[in-house]
């Protein structure tokens, strides 16, 4: 049953990745698969630790590779220090932060830093404001997405997710200076402002026990609806379906015609009563 559920979430995950981004987007930083984050420009910040864990391959038997982080919530993780140009690009343009992750932590109590300060997540900071994606279990088989781990605020419960993978995206609108949140392609939160607490000008990710399969920060981009074109086999099925509908319609019409002719014939064979 768990395998079926994991595969269902994996299919949803793949469908969510059909969300398109602008062709003019510029990737500021990316961490994917089981690669060591230090090979992609990430470092362990001062006072932090990389924790235990490491490379994960073929996770859940679904062919998903990831990098696992285990340790203390506040101080276990990696950061990518952005340049002045990176920060300026984020401030001036729409941008999207994408993370595909799996929360394995069984902790369902905050660590004292705030109401949502457990589990793990990602954040990005520029112009004195921080935008984040925090994920933690509720201890009942659901996962809770929080915009900020340190204060009570906007949250969304991902029912039945358990410890399966999920793709969460934060889409920033430069015009309104707010962010919308998407879970597997569906918008769940909107109009979230940045936070000034615990600000650092970096792109970072942390976790108590998290598998991160993808982290990506793209500037000059926004989320758009997927452009889905049916496969040739789908068109074939459509064609077969149309033919069957036509055949059934013609047979139905033919039967109705035959019935009408029979009725008319029967009526004409009857002799009218003589006056």
In this structure, are 121 and 242 located in the same domain? Answer: no
Do both 234 and 212 map to the same domain? no
Structure tokens at 235: 């068109």
Closest CA to 48 of 84, 81, 15: 81
Question: Are 220 and 253 found together in one domain?
Answer: no
Predicted local distance difference test score (pLDDT) of residue 235: 31
Q: Are residues 168 and 76 in the same domain?
A: yes
For residue 105, give the CATH number of its domain: 2.60.120.200
Q: 54-106: per-residue pLDDT in tens?
A: 999 999 999 999 999 998 877 889 999 999 999 999 999 999 999 999 999 88
User: How confident is the model at residue 132, as a pLDDT?
Assistant: 93
Q: Is residue 272 part of a domain?
A: no
Q: Are 22 and 151 contained in the same domain?
A: yes
**Total-model pTM:** 0.74
- The DSSP code for 175 is T
For the chain, how many structural domains are there in total? 2
Helix (H, G, I), strand (E, B) or coil at 52: strand
Is 35 part of any domain? yes
Specify the pLDDT at position 134: 92
Distance of CA 210 to the CA centre of its chain: 16
Do 112 and 246 lie in one domain? The reply is no
Residues in the chain predicted with pLDDT less than 70, given as ranges, are 1-24, 110-117, 224-275
Same-domain status, 205 and 250? no
Q: Which two tokens stand for residue 60?
A: 């859940």
pLDDT at 114: 61
Evaluate whether residue 275 is within a structural domain.
no
Q: Is residue 26 assigned to a domain?
A: yes
Q: Report pLDDT for 48.
A: 86
Q: Annotate 210-246 with b (16+ C-beta within 10 A) or e (fewer).
A: bbbbbbbbbbbbbbeeeeeeeeeeeeeeeeeeeeeee
Q: What integer pLDDT is reported at residue 209 of this predicted model?
A: 93
What proportions of the chain, in percent to the nearest 5, are helix, strand and coil? 25, 40, 35
In a domain, 274, yes or no: no
Classify residue 273: in a domain, yes or no: no
Q: Are residues 119 and 239 in the same domain?
A: no
In a domain, 270, yes or no: no
Residues 145, 7: Cα–Cα separation, whole Å: 21
244 and 125 inside one domain: no
Provide the terminal-to-terminal Cα distance of the chain, rounded to the nearest Å. 82
- CA neighbor of 172 nearest in space, from 12, 14, 21, 16: 21
Q: Which domain holds residue 75?
A: 2-224
Q: Which residues pair with 103 in a beta bridge?
A: 210
Can you give the pLDDT at residue 81? 93
Pick the closest to residue 199 from 131, 151, 153 (CA basis). Answer: 131
Same-domain pairing of 68 and 138? yes
Q: Please list the alpha-helical segments (H only) found in 175-231.
A: none
| CA–CA gap between residue 260 and residue 266 (Å, rounded) | 10
pLDDT of residue 116: 67
Does 167 reside within a domain? yes
pLDDT value of position 14 = 45
Residue-level pLDDT at 3: 43
Same domain, 68 and 192: yes
Does residue 210 sit in the same domain as residue 240?
A: no
């Amino acid at each position: 049953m768990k395998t079926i559920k994991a595969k269902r979430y994996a299919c949803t995950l793949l469908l969510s990745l059909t969300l398109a981004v602008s062709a003019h987007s510029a990737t500021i930083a990316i961490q994917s698969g089981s690669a060591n984050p230090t090979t992609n420009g990430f470092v362990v910040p001062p006072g932090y630790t990389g924790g235990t864990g490491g490379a994960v391959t073929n996770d859940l038997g679904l062919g998903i590779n990831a990098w696992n982080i285990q340790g203390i919530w506040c101080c276990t993780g990696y950061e990518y220090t952005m340049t002045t140009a990176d920060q300026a690009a984020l401030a001036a343009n729409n941008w999207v932060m994408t993370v595909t992750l799996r929360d394995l932590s069984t902790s369902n109590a905050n660590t004292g830093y705030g109401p949502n300060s457990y589990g793990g997540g990602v954040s990005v900071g520029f112009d004195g404001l921080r935008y984040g994606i925090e994920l933690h279990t509720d201890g009942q088989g659901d996962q809770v997405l929080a915009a900020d781990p340190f204060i009570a605020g906007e949250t969304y419960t991902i029912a039945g997710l358990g410890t399966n993978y999920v793709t969460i995206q934060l889409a920033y609108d430069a015009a309104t200076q707010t962010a919308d949140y998407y879970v597997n392609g569906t918008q769940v939160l909107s109009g979230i402002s940045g936070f000034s607490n615990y600000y650092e000008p970096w792109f970072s990710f942390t976790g108590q026990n998290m598998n991160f399969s993808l982290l990506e920060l793209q500037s000059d981009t926004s989320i758009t609806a997927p452009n889905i074109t049916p496969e040739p086999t789908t068109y074939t099925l459509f064609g077969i379906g149309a033919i069957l509908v036509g055949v059934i319609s013609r047979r139905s019409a033919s039967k109705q015609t035959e019935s009408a002719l029979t009725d008319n014939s029967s009526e004409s064979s009857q002799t009218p009563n003589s006056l």
